[in-house]
Amino acid sequence: MSDYTPEVEAAVNELGGVNLPDNVTLLEVIGRGSRSIIFKAEYRGEKVALKVYRPEAVSAYRKKHNVNIAVFEMSQNRKFRKVPELLPFSAKPIMVLGHDGKQSVCFIQELIEGKPLTELANDLGRLPTSVLEAGELIARVGEQAGLTSLDLDYRNVLVRQQSGRWLPVIHDFNEPIREQSSGKSFMGLFKKEVQPGFELAREWSRYSTKLQEQEH
């Protein structure tokens, strides 16, 4: 009998089970995506975000891109953080599990204490200028640095307060460039609305179809 909460137990079953080292404990589910389920976990006494990849995503990345999806995502996360201007806007990568085939394929990151961008927009009825300016910087500097694997869909961006300002935090780094949707990303929005683009604030709290309608 497991010590998981019902929610965690259901997520583990959805993944077809998980095999983790003894020093990792799953605490709660904090996110879901087509490629993974993200848990709040404890690792060596520290609260972290643990991304456990769905077996079909692991197989697809191996077959299509010839990479381990967790290793790929961690390498892209590190590449992002090597750009000094982008350092405040990303989760810190910690380690990969399962690359040796002995455990579930996972990626451990810094746990971001924040909220979804869409939730902040709904709470305020707008997005703060600080978030929009940071989004423009991430898109522009990221493109200049050749960062092509960021998941910049506005629905997947977290925001947190730093020095009294709301700022976005990028935590997904497993999006191949040819699979990105320009109509749903920071990159796509700011390519079309660079000066200044702030009129998009309210629309970011709605669905991508609303954003696309405004662009056209």
- What tens digit of pLDDT does each residue of 118-150 get? 888 778 877 788 887 888 788 778 878 877 666
DSSP code of 91?
P
* Residue 188 reports pLDDT greater than 70: no
Tokens of 95: 């380690």
pLDDT recorded at residue 117: 84
**Residue among 187, 185, 192, 186 at smallest CA distance from 215:** 192
Tokens of 47: 């609260």
State the average pLDDT for the chain: 80
Q: What does CATH list as the number for 13-110?
A: 3.30.200.20
DSSP state of 136: H
Q: Hey, where are the domains in the chain?
A: 13-110, 115-215
Specify the pTM.
0.80
